[in-house]
Amino acid sequence: MGGVLVTGGAGYIGSHVVRQLGERHEQVVVLDDLSTGHAGAVLHGELVLGDAGDATLIRELLQDYRLDAVMHFAARTVVPESVSDPLKYYRENSEKTRALAEAALEAGVENFIFSSSAAVYGIPPSIPVEEDAPLYPINPYGSSKLVSEWMLRDVAASGALRPVSLRYFNVAGADPGGRIGQSTPEATLLIKVACEAAIGLREEVAIYGTDYSTPDGTGVRDFIHVEDLASAHIQCLDHLRSGGQAATYNVGYGHGYSVREVLEAVERVHGAELPVREADRRPGDPPALVADTGRIRTELAWEPRYDDLDEIVRSALAWEQKLCGAHA
């Protein structure tokens, strides 16, 4: 067994995967430019400061460390920014995925795990959404992820690479041990925003849209604990190393919570009301987005351990309180 190159491993999701890899004594090399990641979040392995699109550096790392797998998390992920600057997203997401895949091929590394997104579906015609559903992204972020998936699919068809693309739904929560979590300033993830509002770091939390065709009029999303998402990557790595084929998997829980239900959970865990403001819908937000997770559960025997909204919120709130104390 070799080791794993993790691009973006100092970021939110990547750092949790690096921690799980380290806990099972994998050799890990993290490549991150620290533009949004944090060196302190890398709890295992070696951190190399560099760009995920630097093909020469990637080839050197894969060969010098004799790595046998790549996990690619490095990406831009802010949807409104992708709308205002789409070429940045095709450059940072699609083009760098191409360069990384090419470098992996040149180094003879076949095992490639790609961080994709449910944004590739756009507004799905039915819920829950299966992997074979139509792919109609409604913003450049989703399109940049889909282009990356297509490139990897086509390389896989040539027999040169065995990629697994994981389509994330709404990631939330933090390491139950309190060591790492979501540290991105000005984050837009609902549970993080609500927890920041709970401890006074934000004046309010906004509900964007109260007139959707959902049970309470607010958007419904499939929230998955970052620990369970990380474990899915570990099982994909084992799948590829045992000779498994290229695949695409949704990663969620298969059921959703509305914005109001999430805010009620934060109030319940925190023990106080949140300052809430109702606002108009945001363009392009689907009414509901929930994963069909049958494929990953069947093919990889993946079983989540943290499928409980209050538990997700509890870990997220504890992390925000820790960050607040560190900055006090």
Q: pLDDT tens across 126-173, in order?
A: 999 999 999 999 999 999 999 999 999 999 999 889 999 999 999 999
Beta carbons within 8 Å of 84's beta carbon, 6+ residues apart = none
Q: Active-site residue 121, yes or no?
A: no
- Whether the per-residue pLDDT at 328 is higher than 60: the answer is no
Q: List the beta strands (DSSP E) in the chain.
A: 3-7, 27-32, 46-49, 69-72, 111-117, 162-168, 170-172, 205-208, 220-221, 223-225, 247-251, 257-258, 276-279, 288-289
Residue 313: how many CA atoms within 13 Å on its side-chain side?
Answer: 22
Write down the catalytic residue from 141, 212, 249, 306. Answer: 141
pLDDT tens per residue, range 81-117 = 999 999 999 999 999 999 999 999 999 999 999 999 9
Q: Where are any strands of DSSP class E within 34-110?
A: 46-49, 69-72
Q: What is the pLDDT of residue 212?
A: 95
Report the Cα–Cα distance between both ends of the chain, in Å, rounded.
44
Q: Which CATH number does 3-172+224-251 carry?
A: 3.40.50.720
- At residue 299 the predicted structure's pLDDT band, cuts being 50, 70 and 90, is very high
Question: Residue 268 is which amino acid?
Answer: R
Classify domain 190-221+254-290+306-327 at the CATH class level.
Answer: alpha beta
Residue 225 zone, left/alpha/beta (φ > 0; ψ -120 to 50; rest): beta
Is there a contact between 222 and 167 (Cβ–Cβ < 8 Å)?
Answer: no
Spatial strand order in the sheet of 288-289: 257-258, 220-221, 288-289
The pLDDT value given to residue 78? 85
Cα angle, residue 150 at apex, residues 5 and 57 outer, rounded to 5°: 30
Structure tokens at 224: 């998955």
Domain positions in the chain are 3-172+224-251, 190-221+254-290+306-327
Closest to 316 in 3D by CA, of 220, 189, 206, 205: 189
Q: Is residue 327's pLDDT more than 70?
A: no
The answer, yes or no, to whether residue 53 has pLDDT greater than 70, is yes
User: Which residue is associated with the tokens 């191409």?
Assistant: 98
Question: Across all residues in the chain, what is the average pLDDT?
Answer: 95
Q: What is the pLDDT of residues 201-242, one digit of tens each?
A: 999 999 999 999 999 999 999 999 999 999 999 999 999 999
Distances (CA, A) of 45 to 25, 48, 68, 211, 281: 9, 10, 15, 48, 43
Q: What is the pLDDT of residue 79?
A: 84
3-state secondary structure of 245: coil
Contact 134, 125 (CB under 8 A): yes
**Is pLDDT of 122 > 60?**
yes
Task: Say which residues have a Cβ less than 8 Å from residue 80's Cβ, sequence separation at least 6.
Answer: none
Contacts of 241 (CB under 8 A, 6+ apart): 1, 68, 69, 111
- List pLDDT tens digits, range 2-25: 899 999 999 999 999 999 999 999
Tokens of 161: 């690479």
Confidence band (pLDDT; 50, 70, 90) for 188?
A: confident
Please tell me the predicted confidence (pLDDT) of residue 325.
78
Q: What pLDDT is attached to residue 70?
A: 98
Q: Going by C-beta distance under 8 Å and a sequence separation of 6 or more, which residues neighbour residue 284?
A: 79, 138, 139
Q: Which residue has the higher pLDDT, 35 or 326?
A: 35
How far is residue 286's CA from residue 293's CA, in Å, rounded to a whole number? 19
For β-strands 220-221 and 257-258, DSSP reports them as: antiparallel
